[in-house]
Every structure is written in structure tokens, then in C-alpha cells.
Structure 1
């Protein structure tokens, strides 16, 4: 937190970050910290989301971009996009497909955030630009 304060950091973007933040960090930086998750939250939070999706037999999973809060992968959702799962889809293949989707939607989410288009109202994110594309 000290380094963030010294450098006057106003936004944080996480990709593949697998640590839980302290309540102190979340209170100070949660509404400016964007995280990616390899599922359509609230389904399959936490680690091994792709494996969980395959084992559950779901036909659709995907990627979620969200702000962080004190619960693992439960922060206000900025955007989501889907990836289809076929009967023979392997976990490694699914991971690659989801990474491509994450790359697509994270760029727009970060741009909208930095341009002031994202507003958190309760547990929802309103995009003032009017689109989540």
C-alpha cells in the first residue's frame, strides 16, 4: 500500500493474480482495482475455474472482468463474454480460449474505467458509455 500511495496510483489491473487482498487494501483500492476471472461469475469462483467448468459439464463458460471486494471473485462485474465447451474440450484448450476472450474485454474495460465511464452503484457497474463491447 505504501508504494501505491507514494506513486499516487489511481488504477490497478490484475490478470491471473491469485492472491487474496487484505480488507485494508480493498477498502482503499477495491473500486480502482480491476481483476479478470476465467469463468462467467458468479459460477466457479476461485482457483481452477476451467477444470470446475469441465467437471460440472456446463456448455458455456467464459471470462469476467470485475472490481475486487472482500469476497473472492464476487466484486461488481464490469463485463463478461462467453466461450463454448464441447464434449471433448480439454482444460488447456479451454484456458487458451478464455485468455483470448479476456484480452478482448479487458482492454475495453480498462479504457472505459480510465475515461470515467464506469460507475459502481451498489453491487452493479453502470457503463455510462452505454456499451460493454
Structure 2
């Protein structure tokens, strides 16, 4: 997918249409971009310059989509680990695109050790769309 190479911006979003839960991809929250906190109020999208960026994300995986025992372990881990429950991902953002970011549930990692190590999910870009810079 290519955007407009002459564009001076791109966008990051967690709100781009229907998140493909059938592919075990769920909502995420972008808490930081390049070490700077994002606003606490939910924002539709974040404007960024093309180039490398480091995002810090928190998962918002629907607890009804995991076994009850795993959900209890995930809740406990998030309570105890706090900042360690977040994940960082580095993206090389291309100009003129909107990147839809989500949290991919790794169903083979719902054991106690993987949950404790926060290995039960990973950040993913699940959609990219050409977007003019505004």
C-alpha cells in the first residue's frame, strides 16, 4: 500500500472501521508516541511525520473472548505489572497513509507463564489506507 510520497504527514488510529475480531485482533490504546504521552481523552487519530516512530500500546482485548481463567490471570498481571503490561512497537511510517493499530490475541499463549510475561498479545497494523494530509 502506498500513500502520497509527497505528503508531509501520516496518521495513526485505533478507530478505523470494524476491527477484525474474527482474526483475533482487538482494540488497543496508543499511550505514547516517541516517548510522549497521548491525551487521556480518546482521540480518533494522531498526526505524525513520516519516518520511524515508537508507539507504546495497551491492549483492550474483550475479556469475553478468552477463557475465564485466562481473563483472571490477565487482570491480575495488569494490576501487578502496570507499566510492564504495555508494549512498544517501532514502525517506519510512510507518507500519506493512515495506519490502523490493534492488539492481536495469541491464543497459543494463554497459559499462566505467557500471561505473566505479557506474551499473550502483540501490537499489529491491521489496515493502511491512503489519506491526504490536512
- Category of TM-score, reference length = shorter chain: 0.3 to 0.5
More helix by share: 1
Give me the TM-score of the superposition, normalised by structure 2. 0.32
More strand by share: 2
Give me the TM-score of the superposition, normalised by structure 1. 0.32
Higher RCO, Cα 8 Å, sep 6+ = 2
